[in-house]
A and B are shown apart, each in its own frame.
Chain A
């Protein structure tokens, strides 16, 4: 494409700029104002990396509502809850059963029977 070649483009632009004329006056202090803006932009702090909270908020706001991800998220948490509940119940059941067994033996052994 001819228009994308730098030589042709520059040439056309130069021609247009040569022909361009304007009589409008610049507002007072225009040049100073431009320089002030340039200085402000130079002295402004460089953009920093987004904070953890920003990333989390972004994920919650835009990533999580995607149907596939939302389904997977709920399914994973459901599985975590089921597994934790089952493991904890198993531990508690073993503890209570062990305790009842001990209690049975203590009730029958005069050397282990709790005295009132």
Chain B
């Protein structure tokens, strides 16, 4: 009985040990990505098989784009506050609301132009095949037809 219990326990320990070893070994690459300084860029490098030189250029483009993105965020936020204050007490369309909505469209268009230019620049920095794959992926992600609104099913 004692020998049987020992074998039973050995089997269980082997199963748990194998599970842990394989799990930690297979998730090591993504854990290393998460621990990196800029995980999303580290992911980009790995996902699109970028060389160190390509990655350096992509990182520079990324760093140059972020201040423009932040300025645009501020502009969008300020405009949203203005639009909300106009809409809060409104019961009819007013020329101010029309102007504010037109401004929203202009901002969105400007933002999309800026983003798309950046995506094109980044894709041209990558090897051609990876660049095409990157563009196809990023366009699908950033230019969702619903702009993040939940889908009705």
Contacts and interface: CB of A to CB of B under 8 A. Distances in A.
A86 to B, nearest CB: 5
Given A61-B1, A96-B33, A111 B43 contact: no
Contact of B22 (A70, A85, A102, A110): A85
Contact of B148 (A61, A101, A112): A112
A101 B39 CA distance: 10
Interface in A62-88: 62-65, 70, 73-74, 76-78, 80-82, 84-86, 88
A86 B118 CA distance: 37
Given A85-B23, A90-B26, A97-B47, A111 B18 contact: no
B142 to A, nearest CB: 5
A64 B8 contact: yes
Given A81-B14, A85-B23, A110 B76 contact: yes
Given A60-B1, A73-B7, A115-B77, A92 B22 contact: no
Q: Which of A64, A90, A92 has the most CB of B within 10 A?
A: A64
Interface in A26-74: 57, 59-65, 70, 73-74
A64 B11 CA distance: 11
Give the interface size class of chain A: 35 or more
B20 interface: yes
A85 B41 contact: no
Contacts of A104: 40-41, 43-44
A107 B40 contact: yes
A103 interface: yes
Given A85-B23, A109-B69, 7 more contacts: A61-B4, A73-B11, A77-B14, A81-B18, A89-B26, A110-B76, A111-B147
Interface of A: 57, 59-65, 70, 73-74, 76-78, 80-82, 84-86, 88-90, 92-93, 96-97, 100-105, 107-113, 115
Instruction: List the 8 closest A-B pairs by CB distance, nearest first.
Output: A81-B18, A85-B22, A89-B26, A81-B15, A100-B43, A60-B4, A104-B40, A61-B1
9 contacts: A60-B1, A62-B4, A74-B7, A81-B16, A85-B23, A88-B19, A89-B26, A101-B40, A104-B40
